[in-house]
Amino acid sequence: MASKGATLELAVLGLLQETPLHGYELRKRLNLLLGWGRLLSYGSLYPALKRMLRAGWITEVTSASPGVSRRQRIVYKITPEGTKFFGDQITEAGPAAWEDENFNMRFAFFSRTSADVRLRILEGRRQRLQERLDRARTTQPPSQPGGRNGDRYVTELQRHSIESVEREVRWLTELIDAERGGQAREAIGDPRSRHQLRTSQE
Amino acid sequence: MASKGATLELAVLGLLQETPLHGYELRKRLNLLLGWGRLLSYGSLYPALKRMLRAGWITEVTSASPGVSRRQRIVYKITPEGTKFFGDQITEAGPAAWEDENFNMRFAFFSRTSADVRLRILEGRRQRLQERLDRARTTQPPSQPGGRNGDRYVTELQRHSIESVEREVRWLTELIDAERGGQAREAIGDPRSRHQLRTSQE
DNA sequence: GTTAGCATGTAAGGAGTTACATGATTTT
DNA sequence: AAAATCATGTAACTCCTTACATGCTAAC
């Protein structure tokens, strides 16, 4: 039953793994983490938290210690079962991991993913996009299906879409190289790499 | 009632405007037109066609003339009411037109949209993306909300997302310039332009 | 004291998917 | 004759949004 689209649940567990949080704060962080489009609504989040409570992945800890703020809030903590579920899901490098809706979330939690799983997810994602490109390139050239061949705007839209996907493929390739380079360097002790992940200044 | 998400309906009407089609073929064309991700399912398309029949936007024309293929198929034709509805919707240059889910479809039918509406939709879309960028840039720098500041992968994901949006903004700017250039050139009779839409070879 | 933002929820409904069910036609 | 693909649908379900409803607390 919990095999399909547990994206939201997983993201919540991922955040709670770092620190307990209440719903309102959770929503803000989820919007930063997942959402480059629509914002998550409360009507989506709170019922999800209820489901997760019932599943035993999280527990309510009504903020009893009015330390910083005396505002009462319902704080959620991850349970050992929740940690296990998160670990299991995040470790799975199957199709679910490289679908459009899930990939970004999986990527965001890559720090808690082993190197080989990271690599397989990145490669699976690239494969998926590559297939999409192949389909697009073969169905496009002959004649637009929109009646007369080659509506200017339709053509331009498709050109831009293809370019966007190509760009993402290049990005993934760089990341894959970096992952492989990282592994190789770990193995042979070489700190250099051209395709490194940009590290934050510190 | 028909103000919200009539994306699928509109796309169907747009295609039927060119030529009558049956469901199966419609799906294939919609997938090319709209879908750079998920494929439209029959469970979504056929009920939509039923709704549109009830609304009076299309009519069934059971393929009585077995010309090319003697296979019987249900062909849908757009009605005058459907044409009117499509025209009204496609003319509206409001927020609905530059949302993520709708923009591509609106763009795909730009050939049937007047120049001023095209321009307003492109500008609205660019504005929307610009706001998204501003939000992203201001909430990002100080310290990641994910606990310790700057998880490498989260940072990389956000960098790539911002770059993607920036790229789309540049694309829109080029298109806007092209539209304005086109209008200006029409007015003053100058055939030159650097930011022209790529035209198909013919 | 009133506005803005924090905080938690529920009910109704929209939009789509998956899985199922069926059968005709074309290609191999 | 079998397999692929064309073609049309329905039922159950998932996931999410909108709109509503409520009340606290901090800042101006």
Give the tens place of pLDDT for each residue, A9-64: 999 999 999 999 999 999 999 998 887 778 899 999 999 999 999 999 999 998 65
Of B19, B100, B202, the CB nearest to A147: B19
Q: Tell me if A27 sits within 8 A of A42, measured CB to CB.
A: yes
Q: Are residues A179 and A132 in the same domain?
A: yes
How many helices (H) and strands (E) chain A has is answered by: 8, 3
Looking up tokens 């949209």 gives: B113
Return the structure tokens found at B63. 């393929």
Domain stops at, among B63, B96, B129: B96
Return the bridge partners of B76, or none: B21, B60
In a domain, A92, yes or no: yes
Q: Are residues A75 and A149 in the same domain?
A: no
The pair phi, psi for residue A22, each rounded to 5°, is -100, 165
Looking up tokens 């498709």 gives: A158
Residue B87 burial (CB count, 10 A): 13
DSSP state of A147: S
Find the domain containing B32 and state its range.
4-96
Chain D bases having any atom below 7 Å from a protein CB:
6-12, 14-20, 24-26
In a domain, B31, yes or no: yes
Check residue A35 and give its pLDDT: 72
B157 contacts in A (CB within 8 Å)? 104, 107-108
Of A32, A139, A151, the CB nearest to B145: A32
Of B37, B104, B146, the CB nearest to A100: B37
A171 vs B152: CB contact, 8 Å cut-off?
no
A147 contacts in B (CB within 8 Å)? 18-19
Q: Are residues A84 and A21 in the same domain?
A: yes
In a domain, B108, yes or no: no
Q: Tell me if A85 sits within 8 A of A13, measured CB to CB.
A: yes
In a domain, A69, yes or no: yes
Q: Are residues B23 and B61 in the same domain?
A: yes
Contacts 24+ apart (CB under 8 A), B59-64: B61/B20, B63/B22
Domain stops at, among A96, A122, A149: A96
E strand or H helix at B75:
strand B74-78
Q: Are residues A143 and A185 in the same domain?
A: yes
B111 vs A151: CB contact, 8 Å cut-off?
yes
Closest CA to B109 of B126, B124, B123, B92: B92
Return the bridge partners of B128, or none: none
Helix axes B152-188, A152-188, angle to 10 degrees: 150
Task: For chain B, 202 residues long, give each residue's pLDDT as a single digit of tens.
Answer: 444 678 999 999 999 999 999 999 999 999 988 877 788 999 999 999 999 999 999 999 986 555 556 678 999 999 999 999 999 999 988 888 998 889 999 999 999 999 999 999 999 999 999 988 888 887 654 344 444 557 999 999 999 999 999 999 999 999 999 999 877 766 676 665 555 566 544 3
Q: Are residues B92 and B137 in the same domain?
A: no
Q: Are residues A88 and A122 in the same domain?
A: no
Task: Read off the CATH number of the domain in which A84 is found.
Answer: 1.10.10.10
A132 vs B19: CB contact, 8 Å cut-off?
no
Burial string for B149-159 (b: 16+ CB within 10 Å, else e) reads eebebbbbbbe
Please, what is the Cα angle at B144 between B141 and B145, to 5 degrees? 130
Strands (E) in chain B, as ranges, are 21-22, 58-62, 74-78
Q: Tell me if A75 sits within 8 A of A61, measured CB to CB.
A: yes
C12 C1' closest Cα residue:
A43
Amino acid at residue number A53: L
Closest CA to B167 of A56, A166, A192, A10: A166
DSSP state of A94: S
Q: Which residue of A has its CA nearest to B142?
A: A200
In a domain, B101, yes or no: no
Count of domains observed in chain B: 2
A18 vs B147: CB contact, 8 Å cut-off?
yes
How far is it, in rounded angstroms, from Cα B73 to Cα B64? 9
Closest CA to A57 of A79, A77, A89, A37: A79
How far is it, in rounded angstroms, from Cα B53 to Cα B48? 9
Domain stops at, among B39, B70, B96: B96
Sign of the dihedral through C-alpha A5, A7, A8, A9: positive
Burial string for B3-37 (b: 16+ CB within 10 Å, else e) reads eeebbbbbbbbbbbbeebbbbebbbebbbbbbebe
B15 vs A153: CB contact, 8 Å cut-off?
no
Residues in Cβ contact with B49 at an 8 Å cutoff, skipping those fewer than 6 apart: B12, B23, B26, B58, B76
In a domain, B167, yes or no: yes
Task: For chain A, 202 residues long, give each residue's pLDDT as a single digit of tens.
Answer: 444 678 999 999 999 999 999 999 999 999 988 877 788 999 999 999 999 999 999 999 986 555 556 677 999 999 999 999 999 999 988 888 998 889 999 999 999 999 999 999 999 999 999 988 888 887 654 344 444 557 999 999 999 999 999 999 999 999 999 999 877 766 676 655 555 566 544 3
Q: Are residues A150 and A197 in the same domain?
A: yes
Strand order through the sheet with A21-22 = A21-22, A74-78, A58-62
Please, what is the Cα angle at A22 between A54 and A89, to 5 degrees? 50
DSSP A57-101: SEEEEE----SS-----EEEEE-HHHHHHHHHHHH--SHHHHSHH
Strand order through the sheet with B21-22 = B21-22, B74-78, B58-62
D10 C1' closest Cα residue:
B43
In a domain, A193, yes or no: yes
Q: Are residues B187 and B118 in the same domain?
A: yes
Checking each nucleotide's C1' against the CA of A45, the nearest proves to be D16
Q: Are residues B67 and B135 in the same domain?
A: no
In a domain, A63, yes or no: yes
Check residue A120 and give its pLDDT: 95
Please, what is the Cα angle at B133 between B132 and B135, to 5 degrees? 65
Q: Give the total residue count for chain B.
A: 202
Check residue B64 and give its pLDDT: 58
Q: Are residues A71 and A40 in the same domain?
A: yes
DSSP state of A68: S
Q: Are residues A121 and A67 in the same domain?
A: no
